[in-house]
């Protein structure tokens, strides 16, 4: 009987893949047994009409039927074990993914805390820069009134020079909310952005009088 070697392999199987490998071997044995059974059935048919030993043919056919039935039973049991192993492996994979997600959630929380700290730092720097810009704008007005325009500070030029420099490229798969936030942050450094308002090209001036130095930037 050809099932003995596979029975040992079946006893050692633990994973779905190992069970599947043994089932494939058992399927081969089953196909061979079914082929032998067809031969035994044909031999029985011939013996019925006097060509061969009918008793021996029927004994051989019964043996083949027993082998086929046993193999089908073993394969069915092995397939249940394979399904159970596959389900256990799937649960283990989901549990591992859950642990990974938990660890990533903790890292994400720390990232958001870092974002908040940096945003607060950005706000403080913005407040300080705005206070200095307003103070320099006042000084520019005094310089202009005193007829000493050469002392005025070009606030727009200073801001644009400070905002120049390389920028990190956004990841290719950035989410829509993150992309919108990134564009908002870049608007603080881009020419014509939130901190650098410029009139549209071809726009008519609202007044014809020269713009005072204190209003520049």
Q: Which residues in the chain land under pLDDT 50?
A: 1-3, 200-217
Q: How far, in Å, CA of 10 to CA of 119, rounded?
A: 61
d(CA 90, CA 96): 10
| Nearest-10 Cα torsion for 29, 32, 33, 39 | -170
CB 26 within 8 A of CB 75: yes
Q: How much is the pTM?
A: 0.59
The residues spanned by each domain of the chain are 3-99, 154-217
- Predicted local confidence at residue 217, as pLDDT: 45
Q: Which of 106, 122, 125 is nearest to 181 (CA)?
A: 122
pLDDT digits (tens, 9 = 90+) for 75-125: 999 999 999 999 999 999 999 999 999 999 999 999 999 999 999 999 999
Q: What is the pLDDT of residue 216?
A: 45
Q: How many C-alpha atoms does 136 have within 13 Å on its Cβ side?
A: 16
pLDDT value of position 199: 54
173/105 Cα distance (integer angstroms): 19
Sign of CA dihedral 180, 185, 188, 192: negative
**Residue-by-residue DSSP string for the chain:** -THHHHHHHHHH--SHHHHHHHHHHHHHHHHHHHHHHHHHHHHHHHHHTTSS-HHHHHHHHHHHHHHHHHHHHHHHHHHHHHHHHHHHHHHHHHHHHHHHHHHHHHHHHHHHHHHHHHHHHHHHHHHHHHHHHHHHHHHHHHHHHTT-GGG---HHHHHHHHH-S--PPPPTT--HHHHHHHHHHHTTTSTTSTTS--PPTTPPPS-SSPPPGGG--
């Amino acid at each position: 009987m050809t099932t003995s070697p596979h029975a040992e392999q079946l006893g050692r199987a633990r994973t779905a893949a190992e069970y599947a490998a043994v089932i494939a071997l058992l399927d081969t044995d089953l196909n061979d047994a079914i082929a032998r059974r067809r031969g035994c059935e044909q031999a029985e048919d011939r013996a019925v009409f006097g060509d061969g030993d009918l008793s021996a043919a029927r004994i051989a056919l019964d043996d083949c039927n027993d082998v086929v039935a046993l193999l089908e039973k073993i394969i069915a049991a092995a397939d249940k074990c394979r399904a159970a192993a596959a389900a256990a492996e799937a649960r283990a994979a989901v549990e591992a993914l859950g642990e990974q997600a938990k660890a990533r959630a903790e890292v994400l929380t720390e990232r958001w805390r870092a974002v908040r700290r940096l945003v607060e730092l950005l706000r403080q720097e913005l407040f300080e820069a705005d206070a200095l810009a307003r103070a320099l704008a006042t000084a520019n007005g005094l310089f202009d009134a005193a007829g000493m325009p050469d002392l005025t500070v070009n606030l727009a030029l200073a801001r644009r020079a400070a905002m120049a420099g390389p920028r990190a490229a956004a990841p290719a798969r950035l989410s829509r909310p993150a992309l919108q936030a990134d564009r908002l942050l870049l608007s603080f450094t881009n020419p014509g952005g939130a901190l650098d308002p410029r009139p549209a090209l071809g726009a008519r001036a609202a007044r014809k009088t020269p713009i005072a130095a204190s209003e520049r930037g």
